[in-house]
Amino acid sequence: IWNLVFIQFNKLTDGSLENLPNKHVDTGMGFERIVAILQKKKSNYDTDLFQPIVQNLEKITGLNYSSASPEEMTAFRVAVDHVRALTFAISDGIIPSNEGRGYVLRRILRRAVRYGRKLNIHETFLHKLTPSVVQVMGKAFPELTNKEEYVRRVIKSEEESFGQTIDRGMELIDREIERLLSKKEIAFPGETAFKLYDTFGFPLDLTQLIAEEKGLTVNKKDFQL
């Protein structure tokens, strides 16, 4: 049910431990985990916190979540989890950008869009899931309801911007991976990863994720050069 962590010491630079003035127990018992237990579900995504969003995505894709392949199920989960994070963050005033927390948000959105491709979605779709997030959480967080249309516009704009480049970027990644595998090489060139970032807006961690799925590693040293 939970993982108990006893907060007792502060570890100093020399490796020694000193007692904290106040000691605590961290249960790791998040809201979603409590709901899953109460509703007797094996996964957070099977609870009523996520199912309305999942069902909305089923309508968009024409796929059935419960009978989806492992790869498709992962894509479902990434999409519904990420759109929830996007909806809350944008409602709190964060805007996708190229720096700071805005860049974290942009990476989350682009990762979700990429997983949408695994569900054969090639048009904007994340903004269509926002109403389902509001349906589930809007009563407890009224700011979601108040800013729903604004959030939809921001997400759709970001989707449209990334959608113009993702397919061309995916073509480049697929060609490079095919070339490396044919030569039985495992290092994805840092120069190619940088081109994907600079030209197509692919964050490095997204390129790493795609490469890792094929058993490859990205040369981060050359990327940073």
pLDDT at 1 over 80: no
> Measured between alpha carbons, how far is 49 from 36 in angstroms, rounded to an integer?
9
> Measured between alpha carbons, how far is 173 from 208 in angstroms, rounded to an integer?
11
H-only helix segments in the chain: 31-38, 51-61, 70-91, 100-118, 126-137, 142-146, 148-182, 190-200, 204-213, 220-224
User: b/e map of 31-52 (b: 16 or more CB within 10 Å)?
Assistant: ebeebbeeeebeebbbbebbbb
Q: Per mean pLDDT, which range of 149-153, 173-177, 208-212 is the poorest?
A: 208-212
pLDDT tens sequence across 79-121: 999 999 999 999 999 999 988 999 999 989 999 999 999 999 9
> What is the model's pTM?
0.80
Nearest partner of 108 among 141, 78, 74, 147, judged by Cα: 78
More confident call, 163 vs 50:
50
pLDDT tens sequence across 62-76: 999 999 999 999 999
Note the pLDDT of residue 85.
97
Mean pLDDT of all residues in the chain?
93
Radius of gyration over every alpha carbon of the chain, rounded to an integer in angstroms: 20
pLDDT at 222 over 90: no
